[in-house]
Amino acid sequence: MEMFWENIVVITAARYSVVVLCTMIFLAIFELVTSYKNWQEIKNGNFAVAMATGGKLFGIATIFRYSIEHNDTILQSIGWGAFGFLLLLLGYFIFEFLTPTIKVDEEIGKGNQAVGFISMMISIGLSFVIGANIR
């Protein structure tokens, strides 16, 4: 049975499953902190929300990419992935705080593509910085 858990296909499937589950949970948390409903807005064609959500997805995936690369166990990967997500979430709130003349959340909800694009790039950029620090 030990050989089964050491098989690269089994390890890959396990890590993949865990990352998909964590991504769903983390996106649900993002959904709770935004004033708009991500998937409903995307269904309605709100490209700003799609860019911001896509940036969050890419950011979460990038953080987990580094987490998997630098950790031996799934639990370590989950721990670093969750910590990285919290930093990404913090970055979202800092972005809102540092732009007092723009209500980021509100603008994205209204379909402001420029704000959605900047939000996407912040999520992507921060994920590389966060990921680079994962050990």
pLDDT tens digits for range 14-68: 999 999 999 999 999 999 999 999 999 999 999 999 999 999 999 999 999 999 9
- List, as one string, the DSSP characters of the chain: -HHHHH-HHHHHHHHHHHHHHHHHHHHHHHHHHSSS-HHHHHHTT-HHHHHHHHHHHHHHHHHHHHHHHH-SSHHHHHHHHHHHHHHHHHHHHHHHHH-TTS-HHHHHHTT-HHHHHHHHHHHHHHHHHHHHT--
What does pTM read for this prediction?
A: 0.90
Domain ranges of the chain: 18-132
